[in-house]
Homo-oligomer: A and B are copies of this chain.
């Protein structure tokens, strides 16, 4: 929000690349969940890409997991508040024994290893909307993926 209003907004194609790059290179994100029973919850969590999914893990007995059991949908943010990549998607809860070994091995390189900590579960989020903006001047044109498809033309 501190960017001067004269700063030119980035084009859609550049923002798409920012989203892809951040998903490929970062290791931690913010995970926001909410359900009927509870309000919103927000935690930092490690992640790796697993094909088209964002793979995460957290405690089975946690507010995040209770929220996701009640409403299996989440919103993620990667980066800081002045340079946002926000991702919405449905979430599947996956037992430790059912996670692909290659994914679990990569996950163990960016986090404690859920295979070695009792009471953990993996979370697989499939992005269906991704938004990229770095200030008020980029609020228009921030959507780079909608309904699971990368956009070639702005929709907002």
Chain A contacts to B: CB under 8 angstroms: 1-2, 27-30, 32-36, 38-46, 67, 71, 73-77, 80-82, 84, 86, 110-112, 136
Contact = CB atoms under 8 A, between A and B. Distances in A.
A18 B75 CA distance: 27
Number of copies: 2
Given A34-B35, A36-B36, A81-B30, A75 B41 contact: yes
Contacts of A110: 1-2
Nearest to A63: B75
A81 B46 CA distance: 9
B75 A112 contact: no
Contact of A34 (B28, B40, B43): B40
Contacts of A80: 28, 44, 80
Contacts of A77: 30, 42, 44
A150 B34 CA distance: 26
Given A32-B34, A34-B35, 6 more contacts: A1-B110, A1-B111, A2-B27, A34-B38, A36-B36, A43-B86
